[in-house]
Amino acid sequence: MSLLPLLNQRFAAALAAVGAPDGQALVQLAGRPEFGDYQMNGVMGAAKALKLNPRELAQKVIDSVDLAGIAASLEIAGPGFINIKLDDGFLAQRIETALTDPKLGVDALPRQRVMVEYSSVNLAKEMHVGHLRGGIIGDALARINDFVGQDVIRQNHVGDWGTQFGMLVAFMVESRKAGEAEYALKDLDTFYKASKKRFDEDPAFADLARDYVVKLQGGDAEVLALWRQFVELSLAHCNDIYQKLGLLLNDGDVRGESFYNNDLPVLVDELRQQGLLTEDQGAQVVFLDEFKNKEGDPAAYIVQKQGGGYLYATTDLGAIRFRARELKLDRCLYVVDARQALHFQQLFTVARKAGFAPASLQLEHVAHGTIMGKDGKPFKTKSGDSIKLGELLDEAIERAYQLVSEKRPELDESARREIAKAVGIGALKYADLSKNRTTDYIFDWDTMLSFEGNSAPYLLFAYTRVRSIFRKVGEWDSKSTVALTEPAEHALALELSRFADVVHQVAHDSQPHFLCAYLYNVATAFSRFYEACPVIQDGQTNASRLKVCDLTAKVLAQGLGLLGIAVLEAM
Ligand code: ARG
């Protein structure tokens, strides 16, 4: 059992034993070192409920709690807090156990089928900076859930359907005839703009595009085949980006909007049969009392437009229905921009009402903020165009290359390129993941590529520093036992023993920045340890300390790995 649940369990038992069976232990990490390692905050609440003096109750809890071999000291503080200092022998034992466990002491959580939907780009256009956060965060959450034993199903709900595809297919056919389609499709945005121009300027072309839309929706084999070619080319572009960014997404995870097309009339019928639909100005609508529009009337969730067309919102109902019935999920994480929050609240409400999503299915919009430029507006190029993701990734790698070349001019070119890739991409990812997911942040190359502070370069470098100790030491006795004596050893051992609690929390709350903050703490605790506690002294290797180093390296590598960041052995 990881530390927090263990402490909570022991204190809950003690509260019950002293006559407060409903009391909550509320154990937390201590705010300051002088408060010990952890604090138990549940006494005041229990004392209030029982009308007892909290400090007296705290003493009873201390007398009763079974923390033999776990806590070195328990002290009452203030109105009735209990400060907990963990036992060095206990922490040493946790380190030994973690070192023998491929999961480093992180136990599996109750197994669920968890979907992580992320990226979900619209295929008509090239991937841009707006797609960065969702991709990075979703990928980390998929890795973390997998690590804690969940059945992870990744879904890439790409926008591959809708009227613009008629236009794009028409333009693909036309430019193919001119022998330049493959060339033109190399740059999707230019392709999109050119086809839009044709559409706006040439009525014959526009007619053809509209004809394709009708044929596409009617399932015309020939037009469908053309559409599929376009989708494949677009997806190939996405795959390049995923690969460069090191995302786990692949073709098997793609289930685009088009997939649900045939279900849409069926689900609209189901809504009708359940009496949930109202006709409003020719459209089919679910009115939601839970949400008010500007006039204070129930908000309208439109599922079918006047004229019969379906919408983004309808497709999402199809997706939920499929995810519940066919994918048999227990938990759905939608990693999507916070600006779609209302859509998801309404979607989840309609899906519950219609029974598409049973009460047992957890639905969560894992919302993320926007990446801003220095001017405080969404990050754009100087001319106001969206920043292409491919170009941004190249720039990250190039900047890292300059940096590495400055720091390590003696390395040969290919080694510097290799390091630059890891540092550049790692920096981009870490800068994003270390920020609170729900808020916006300002994009800044300098802080993300800095070797100081809570950044990828700092952590990657910290890892290589630990690894270099082992190269210096050579052979060592990994069978000797861990013994902790110095405060800096205790502090580092405590951090290392918290890994499981942190990973569990992130799996639960989908807030990767807590894992980043934790890894940064590990790295700084290691620095202090390394200064205060020599690993090699008078030519003698301290094997206990080397084991602590070993776990530090493993936790850093695993932690960064869970964020989708690969470590380097040297840099
Ligand atoms: N393709 C959409 C967009 O670019 C995002 C899709 C999010 N996922 C969902 N299930 N609605 O805005």
Last residue in a domain, options 29, 56, 86: 86
Q: What spacing in Å lies between the alpha carbon of 568 and ligand 1's midpoint?
A: 35
Mutate to test the pocket of ligand 1, among 115, 117, 120, 327 (most ligand atoms within 8 A of CB): 120
Ligand 1 atom 11 nearest Cα:
316
Q: What is the pLDDT of residue 476?
A: 87
Is residue 2 within 8 A of residue 20, CB to CB? The reply is no
pLDDT for the residue numbered 347: 98
Residue 403: is its pLDDT beyond 70?
yes
Q: 160, 165, 153, 156: which is closest to 120 by C-alpha?
A: 156
Q: Is 388 helix (H, G, I), strand (E, B) or coil?
A: strand
Q: Residue 436 and residue 458: Cα distance in Å, rounded?
A: 19
Residue 222 Cα to ligand 1 middle (Å): 28
Q: Is residue 22 part of a domain?
A: yes
Task: Rounding to the nearest 10 degrees, give the CA dihedral for residues 410, 415, 418, 422.
Answer: -50
The answer to whether residue 216 is domain-embedded is: yes
Give backbone dihedrals phi and psi of 227, rounded to 5 degrees, phi first: -60, -45
Tokens 């006494």, residue? Answer: 43
Confirm or reject: Cβ of 157 under 6 Å from ligand 1: yes
Average pLDDT, the chain: 95
Tell me whether strands 298-304 and 283-292 are parallel, antiparallel or unpaired: antiparallel
Instruction: Find the 336 Cα to ligand 1 centroid distance in Å.
Output: 7
Give me ligand 1 centre to Cα 460, in Å: 33
Is 174 contained in some domain? yes
Cβ 195 under 6 angstroms from ligand 1: no
Q: Is 118 in the pocket of ligand 1 (CB under 6 A)?
A: no
User: Which of 253, 288, 315 corresponds to the end of one domain?
Assistant: 253
Token duo for residue 242: 């995923």
Reported as half-sphere exposure (CB side, CA atoms, 13 A), residue 554 has a value of: 20
Domain membership of residue 268 (yes or no) is no
Q: Does 502 fall in a domain?
A: no
Q: H or E segment at 277? A: strand 277-280
pLDDT of res. 186: 73
In degrees and rounded to multiples of 5, residue 188 shows phi and psi of -60, -40
Structure tokens at 116: 């992580």
pLDDT at 253 over 70: yes
Looking at the predicted structure, is the pLDDT value of residue 15 above 90?
Answer: yes
Q: Is the CB of 159 under 6 A from ligand 1?
A: yes
CATH code for position 17:
3.30.1360.70
At 33, is the pLDDT very low, low, confident or very high (cuts 50, 70, 90)? Answer: confident
- Quick check: CB of 41 below 6 Å from ligand 1? no
**How many angstroms is it from 547 CA to the middle of ligand 1?**
47
- Residue 293: band (very low, low, confident or very high) from pLDDT cuts 50, 70, 90: confident
Report the 10 Å Cβ neighbour count for 416: 21
Residue 317, ligand 1, Cβ within 6 A: no
Average pLDDT over residues 505-515: 98
Give the pLDDT band of residue 386 (cuts 50, 70, 90).
Answer: confident
Asked whether 499 lines ligand 1 (CB < 6 A), one says: no
Query: From the CA of 310, how far away is ligand 1's center (Å)?
Result: 15
CA 394 to CA 244: how far, in whole Å? 9
Is the model's pLDDT at 184 over the cut of 80? no
Question: How far is it, in rounded angstroms, from Cα 115 to Cα 323?
Answer: 8
Q: Which residues, at least 6 apart from 506, have a Cβ–Cβ distance to it below 8 Å? A: 144, 512, 514, 515
Q: Is residue 475 pLDDT above 90, yes or no?
A: no
Cβ atoms of 117 and 334 within 8 Å: the answer is: yes
The count of other CB atoms within 10 Å of the CB of residue 214 is 11
Asked if residues 3 and 11 have their Cβ atoms less than 8 Å apart, the reply is no
pLDDT tens digits, 311-331: 999 999 999 999 999 999 999
Q: For residues 529 and 381, which has the higher predicted lDDT (pLDDT)?
A: 529
Of 155, 157, 334, which is best to mutate to test ligand 1, by the most ligand atoms within 8 angstroms of its C-beta? 157
Q: Whose CA is nearest to atom 6 of ligand 1?
A: 120
Q: Is the CB of 429 under 6 A from ligand 1?
A: no
Residue 345's CB is within 10 A of a number of other CB atoms, namely 16
- Residue where a domain terminates, one of 52, 86, 120: 86
Contacts of 144 (CB under 8 A, 6+ apart): 503, 506, 507, 512, 515, 562
Q: Which amino acid is at 402?
A: Q
Atom number, ligand 1, closest to the C-alpha of residue 312: 11
Q: Which atom of ligand 1 is nearest to the CA of 343?
A: 11
pLDDT in tens, 456-470: 999 999 999 999 999
pLDDT above 90: residue 502: yes
Segment holding 85, helix H or strand E? strand 81-86
Interval 376-390 mean pLDDT: 89
Q: Are 529 and 465 in contact (CB under 8 A)?
A: no
What distance in Å separates the CA atoms of residue 467 and residue 553, rounded to the nearest whole number?
7
Report in angstroms the alpha-carbon separations of 445 from 219, 287, 371, 463: 48, 46, 13, 22
Spacing, Cα 560 to ligand 1 middle (Å) = 28
* pLDDT range class, residue 177, cuts 50, 70, 90: confident
219, pLDDT greater than 80: yes
According to the model, what pLDDT value does residue 270 have? 97
Does ligand 1 have an atom closer than 6 angstroms to the CB of 365? Answer: no
The answer as to whether 212 is a domain residue is yes
Say yes or no: CB of residue 520 within 6 Å of ligand 1. Answer: no
How many domains does the chain fold into?
2
pLDDT computed for residue 183 by the predictor: 64
The pLDDT of residue 98 is above 80? yes
Query: Does residue 30 form part of some domain?
Result: yes
Ligand 1: centre distance to CA 194 (Å): 24
Compute φ and ψ for 103, nearest 5 degrees: -95, 10
Place 181 in a pLDDT band, splitting at 50, 70 and 90: low
Q: Whole domain around residue 69: which residue ranges?
A: 3-86
Closest CA to 549 of 493, 487, 477: 493
* 459 in any annotated domain: no
223 C-beta closer than 6 A to ligand 1: no
Q: Please work out whether the CB of residue 336 comes within 6 Å of at least one atom of ligand 1.
A: yes
CA of 342 to the centre of ligand 1 (A): 13
Ligand 1 centroid, distance to 117 Cα (angstroms): 9
